[in-house]
Chains A and B, each alone.
Chain A
């Protein structure tokens, strides 16, 4: 478990909670993560939004986003805490490091392809045009 994993945690806070209570709650959650050895690389509010469907009679909520780097242990604790807390309507954790790696790979592959075929797409996608062009070359 030495490797670092990156997670995105999105959670919804009840709009009924007071402002200072909300900040306290967020700070508390951050402390849980840091105490267990994780680091919070991003912590931002996605703002107040209307929920796409009702969650426990609530129609809107405050969305928060954490980006956490860690081993997974802090995620387990964080999720446990969020499950217990009534002010948190819902949470979603997504492990993003693997997906980002894949995105990087795709990007690299595209770059490689582009350098290999500099004229790809230059013929405008119409097969007929490309064939005609090739014919001209042969005649010349």
Chain B
């Protein structure tokens, strides 16, 4: 039974039928798919700073680190990711700024 109550946590933002409430409505909750940390799904334990291909997908044009609310990464993985990006920047694998 304890398992069920744990899993009910997922349904917090199920939203209302016919979702997509107009912007600015305070009362209505808008439907949003719950993001799952991609690294948890893939069971990543260590994010390598040499993996440029992976890291570039987390630094959009302005070369800023993609925030958690958008990347959907969980806190431990976001931390690893940020660390890896900073290391990669140091050795010119990733840019500090978009010029």
Contacts and interface: CB of A to CB of B under 8 A. Distances in A.
Interface size class of A (residues with CB under 8 A): 35 or more
A42 interface: no
B46 A100 contact: yes
A73 interface: no
Given A12-B91, A52-B95, A120-B3, A127 B11 contact: yes
A55 B50 contact: no
Interface residues of B, number: 24
A133 to B, nearest CB: 8
Contacts of B50: 10, 46, 65
Interface of A: 10-12, 46, 49, 51-53, 55, 61, 63, 65, 89-92, 94, 99-100, 102-104, 106-107, 110, 117, 119-120, 123, 125-128, 130-131, 134
